[in-house]
Amino acid sequence: MDAIRVKRAAPDDLGALGEMVDRIYRPQRPPGEGMPREFPHLFDPRNADNLFFVEDRGRPVSMVGVLKQIGMVPGAAVPVASIGSVATVPEYRGRHLASRILQVVFDTMRDEQQALCLISGDRDLYLRQGAIAVGQMETVFIELTPSMPRLSYPLRQVPAHLRASYASRLIRLYRQEPYRFMRTTAHMEVLLNALWFQRPGFDQQLFVIGPEDHPVAYVVVYVSARSIDQGTIMEWAGDRAAIVQALPYVMTHMNIRHLQFHIHEADFSMHRLADEKGWTLVPGPLQGTVKVVNEDVLRSAYRAWLAEYEPWPREEGDWGDVTARYFGRNKGQYNLPLMLTDDLNYI
């Protein structure tokens, strides 16, 4: 192929890009019917300009997908470029195409006033470009016990044809979460109809807790055919105590004995409840890797936080990597808070 030229997609390119990504990540589905439907906002025509790719003889051979979002933490709204669907067709691997696209993406996101790039994964490809694992969350592991707590609220598993109708009710709960991404009601409605609820080999369900018109919490749980006794909560929001009460019933409904989910390090209410239950908590970084691409935008977004930290980190002199400087946990680093990066936030 000729010299590498990275292009930004137009709506007419989405079909070919979706088929290419499906051949790599969803070979069991008809080309174009997997990833584009699982990640409807990423492959939306209105987001086409944020899909970066290289083509050869008129067909895409490598791409990087970007979805611009606003990360919400108390006191800060942070422009974040979520990156995923990084793919190169097998016969073009080893030519550093994805590396070249990522370089263009990082430069473009800097110029387009994105503070951070949040990358779905920790491949060497990302680490070589300066992305690192930062932040802190705990993975909670639960085992079903014979004793079942008394439920304070009704619990219902929402059938597929009704999921989208719950969007306006569930979005209110999601928006009360302090560490999340900005999401509209329309955004939520699309997510509740996304293909990830219908992925082959996955049983994924939405459970709503509380009165039908005014729910107090919800959880999205999936079980993989590869681990039929283990469930994972893909997203949850709302009243912590109600969720803790409901989880044994959810596990019974899903016919699983083990369940895992994530807790943000600053979610003190859920930490307290987890401790009371004796659940196993395993600390680790947030999902994926992070790279600061525009330090000025980052400092502006976190100005309220930084006002409380100045000037002590500057006394260290050599700060090292800029991402670690702001989000690392060592002496002389800010340890700024990040949003929780569970799977739905990439969509």
Q: What is the mean pLDDT of residues 7-31?
A: 94
| Residue 49: pLDDT over 60 | yes
Res. 89: pLDDT tops 70: yes
Give, in degrees to the nearest 5, the angle at Cα 252 between 249 and 254: 110
Question: Mean of the pLDDT values across residues 5-9?
Answer: 96
Q: What is the DSSP letter of 84?
A: E
Looking at the predicted structure, is the pLDDT value of residue 346 above 90?
no
pTM of model > 0.85: yes
Four-CA torsion 202, 206, 209, 211, nearest 10 degrees: -150
Query: Rounded distance, CA 112 to CA 106, Å?
Result: 10
Distance from C-alpha of 180 to C-alpha of 71, rounded to nearest angstrom: 6
The residue-averaged pLDDT of 77-81 equals: 97
Q: For 223-242, what is each residue's pLDDT tens digit?
A: 998 888 999 999 999 999 99
pLDDT of the residue at 313: 58
CATH topology of domain 138-284: Aminopeptidase (3.40.630)
Q: Give the model confidence (pLDDT) of 246-289 as tens digits.
A: 999 999 999 999 999 999 999 999 999 999 999 999 999 988 89
Domain with CATH 3.40.630.30 in the chain: 1-135+286-347, 138-284
For the segment 174-194, the average pLDDT, to the nearest whole number, is: 93
pLDDT in tens, 118-132: 998 888 889 888 899
* The CATH number of domain 1-135+286-347, selected from 3.90.25.10, 3.40.50.300, 3.40.50.720, 3.40.630.30: 3.40.630.30
State residue 343's pLDDT score.
60
Beta bridge partners of 62: 54, 88
pLDDT at residue 317 tops 70: no
Instruction: Check residue 314 and give its pLDDT.
Output: 56
Q: Report the chain's mean pLDDT, rounded to a whole number.
A: 91
Average pLDDT over residues 188-206: 88
Q: What distance lies between CA 260 and its chain's CA centroid?
A: 16
Task: Check whether 331 has a pLDDT greater than 90.
Answer: no
pLDDT surpasses 70 at 173: yes
